[in-house]
Amino acid sequence: DARVTQTPRHKVTEMGQEVTMRCQPILGHNTVFWYRQTMMQGLELLAYFRNRAPLDDSGMPKDRFSAEMPDATLATLKIQPSEPRDSAVYFCASGLPGHNYGYTFGSGTRLTVV
Amino acid sequence: GNSVTQMEGPVTLSEEAFLTINCTYTATGYPSLFWYVQYPGEGLQLLLKATKADDKGSNKGFEATYRKETTSFHLEKGSVQVSDSAVYFCALGAQSEGGSYIPTFGRGTSLIVHP
- Asked if omega into A70 is within 30° of 0 (cis), the reply is no
**pLDDT tens digits, residue range B15-35?**
999 999 999 999 887 899 999
Q: Assign A60 to helix, strand or coil.
A: coil
Please report which confidence band the pLDDT of residue A100 belongs to, taking 50, 70 and 90 as the band edges.
Answer: confident
Which range, of A63-72, B22-31, B96-105, averages the lowest pLDDT? B96-105
| CB pair distance less than 8 Å for B46 and A93 | no
The answer, yes or no, to whether residue B98 has pLDDT greater than 70, is: no
Phi/psi at A40 (5° precision) = -75, -45
| Inter-residue contact A34 to A58 (CB < 8 Å) | no
* Residues β-bridged to residue A37: A43, A89
Q: Which among B32, B34, B43 is the nearest to A106, CB-wise? A: B43
B14 close to A (CB below 8 A): no
**What pLDDT sits at residue B101?**
78
Give chain A positions within 8 Å (CB) of B105.
Answer: 42-43
Closest listed residue to residue B105, CA positions, set B4, B1, B2: B4
Radius of gyration in angstroms for the set of CA atoms belonging to chain A, rounded to a whole number = 13
**pLDDT tens digits, residue range A11-30?**
999 999 999 999 999 999 99
Dihedral sign from CA coordinates of A46, A52, A54, A56: negative
Give chain A positions within 8 Å (CB) of B103.
Answer: 99, 103
Residue A62 CA from chain centroid, whole number: 14
> Count of CB contacts below 8 A, A vs B?
53
Residue range A80-106: mean pLDDT, rounded = 91
| CB pair distance less than 8 Å for B103 and A48 | no
C-alpha B7/C-alpha B92 separation (Å) is: 16
